[in-house]
Amino acid sequence: MTTSPLRLMAVHAHPDDESSKGAATTARYAAQGVEVLVVSCTGGERGSILNPRFGREVTDIDEMREIRTGEMAGAAAALGVQHRWLGFVDSGLPEGDPLPPLPEGCFAAMPLEEAATPLVELVRSFRPHVITTYDPSGGYPHPDHIMCHRVSKEAFDTAGDAERYRGHGEPWTPLKLYYNHDFSMRRIRTMHEALLAAGHESPFGDWVESRAAREITEREVTTRIECADYFSARDAALRSHATQIDPEGFFFATPRELEVSVWPVEEYELAESRVQTSTPEDDLFAGIVSTDGDRS
């Protein structure tokens, strides 16, 4: 039996990832009284201005960090969650053939134990029962997303081991580890077909028809969280990231009433569990019982 309230930690690579991956889930649990902590590994300093309506370019890394810090505060407020920074520097997305080296001192170039230490400390202080993050591919091959997976897995595996990361807090053993699946090709194809059937243009056509999409390996979905009532909170969080999210762009191209009728859930893969549970699940806390008895 666990202490109450239940606690959920969602670990992400950059500010804005928490709003595009599992956002309605975190908003739902926070509204239900679960303590929810979103963790951003980096400050998103090397992100580009992706919203053409932002109005200006930002080329200074310190200025971008400051802007994205403010955006993240707005997103956390919209979702009703707590937030912490790990304090690492965005690695950027290297492009070219051959790929250029990662910037010196960036998150993805850090030794694993050094990069995982602040997350282990945070796990030990916040004491989450459940951690969510990305699968080993990172969801897509951004070096920070892949490193986010690695440090999350390391923290899940070691935070309860008194012999590891000595001097970085009292051991705490999380009970379940999940991977986000918000950008699965199954979801994208389903939404694409629903939009066309309803007579709408689809923003997913290039994804569905691309060779890269056909080569994406579909991972197992074990857990589907009903969260349509919190899509509005997710959308408000997305809009908070004004450097990254076009309010008239991709994320808002699907009519919400259609999305609710076709795909009212967010999906996860149960990667590891230290409690007995059975799949499919409809609750990230399945198998975990609080002292109030509100989960089983």
- The annotation places the binding site for Zn(2+) at 14, 17, 145
Phi, psi of 206 (to 5 degrees): -65, -35
DSSP-assigned beta bridge partners for residue 88: 42
Q: Which of 89, 125, 124 is nearest to 109 (CA)?
A: 89
Max intra-chain CA distance, the chain: 60
What sign has the CA pseudo-torsion 142, 146, 151, 153?
positive
> Quick one: tokens of 213?
């999409």
How far is residue 139's CA from residue 53's CA, in Å, rounded to a whole number? 27
Query: 37 in helix, strand or coil?
Result: strand
Q: Which residues are annotated as a binding site?
A: 14, 17, 145
Q: How wide is the angle at C-alpha 181 spanned by C-alphas 178 and 184, nearest 5°? A: 155
3-state secondary structure 161-209: CCCCCCCCCCCCCCCEEEEECCCCHHHHHHHHHHHHHCCCCCCCHHHHH
Token pair 């991977």: residue: 179
